[in-house]
Amino acid sequence: MNTYDRDYALTHSVPANDWLFDAFVELLDPQPGWRVLDVGCNTGELTSRIAALQCRTLGIDLNPDAIALARQRFPALEFRAATLPDLDEYGFDAIVASHVIEHLHDLDEFLLTARRRLKTDGKFLLATPNRHAWIRRLAHRLWGVSFFDDSTHIRFYTARQLRHRLAACGFQQIVTETRRLYFPLAARLTHSVHLSLPCFGMGDHLFASAVAPSTQTNGITGKLNRRSA
C-alpha cells in the first residue's frame, strides 16, 4: 500500500524559509545557471529556494499528490511525479535529496544512479536523520517529541556509514556533519544561537556532501566539516 498521499505531503511540508533549507543553500552554494535536481521534493519548498538563486531546477517526487501541490504553490517551476531511475536526463550540476534515503531499501543503487545523473565534478548533497542523535531519541521517550517514528522510514545512518557507502559508489571529496541539537529549552533561544551550539556528532540532521568523480577535481565548497561517527 502506498502511504505517500496528500496527507503525507502536507504533514511533511515545511515553510520555504525553514532553517533546514537555509542549510541546504549554504552547503550547496548553488551558482546562477546551474541545473539542479531536487529528489524527493515533496511540495517544492526547497526547489523554490534554489530556483530563486537563478538556478534551473527540476523537482521530482514519487507522491503525485505532493507534485500537484508543488505545481499549485510554484507554478513557474518544473515538477514531475517520478523517481530518480525514471529520469532520462543527465548532466546536472547538482542533486539534492532532503530526507529521502531513510525511505529506501537499496541505498547503493540510489547513490549510483545519482552519480550517473551528475556532470563531471557535479555536487551531491543529502540530509537524513542522524542515527547518533541520542538526545533526540531521549526527547522522544521523555516528552513524545517525534522524529524517528515515521512509518515509512526503513533505515537510519551514521556519518561513518554514509561516508563509506558514498566512497564505495565512486563519489569523491566526501564530507559530513550534523546540525541542530534538540533540547526542551531550545525554543527559548534565538535562531542563530540555537544553530551555533555544538552538536558533537549528535545533531538530529545528518548532512553528507560529495562530488562526482573526474580526472581533475576542483573541490567542493569546504563548508562541511569532516566528522567521525
Give per-residue pLDDT as tens, 88-132.
999 999 999 999 999 999 999 999 999 999 999 999 999 999 877
pLDDT band at 223 (very low <50, low <70, confident <90, very high): very low
Chain-centre distance for alpha carbon 126: 3
Q: How many whole angstroms separate alpha carbon 204 and alpha carbon 183?
A: 11
SS3 168: helix
Residue 216 has pLDDT above 80, yes or no: no
Max avg pLDDT among 16-20, 21-25, 91-95, 146-150:
91-95
Q: How many whole angstroms separate alpha carbon 159 and alpha carbon 185?
A: 26
Residue 144 has pLDDT above 60, yes or no: no
| Residue numbers of the domain that contains 135 | 6-211
User: How high does pLDDT run on average in the chain?
Assistant: 84
Q: How many CA atoms lie within 13 A of 103 on its CB side?
A: 18
Q: How many whole angstroms separate alpha carbon 142 and alpha carbon 139?
A: 5
Does 100 map to a domain? yes
Does 220 map to a domain? no
Does 227 map to a domain? no
Overall domain count for the chain = 1
Alpha helices in the chain (DSSP H): 6-11, 19-28, 45-51, 64-73, 107-117, 134-143, 159-168, 191-196
Does 18 map to a domain? yes
Does 229 map to a domain? no
Mean pLDDT, residues 70-82 taken together: 98
Residue 3 has pLDDT above 70, yes or no: yes
Residue 141 has pLDDT above 70, yes or no: no
Does 145 map to a domain? yes
Does 224 map to a domain? no
Does 218 map to a domain? no
- Residues 122-150 as b or e (16 or more Cβ within 10 Å = b): bbbbbbbbbbbbebbbebbeeeebebbeb
End-to-end distance of the chain based on CA atoms, in angstroms?
35
Which CATH number do you get for residue 198? 3.40.50.150
pLDDT (0 to 100) of residue 35: 98
Whole-angstrom Cα Rg for the chain: 17
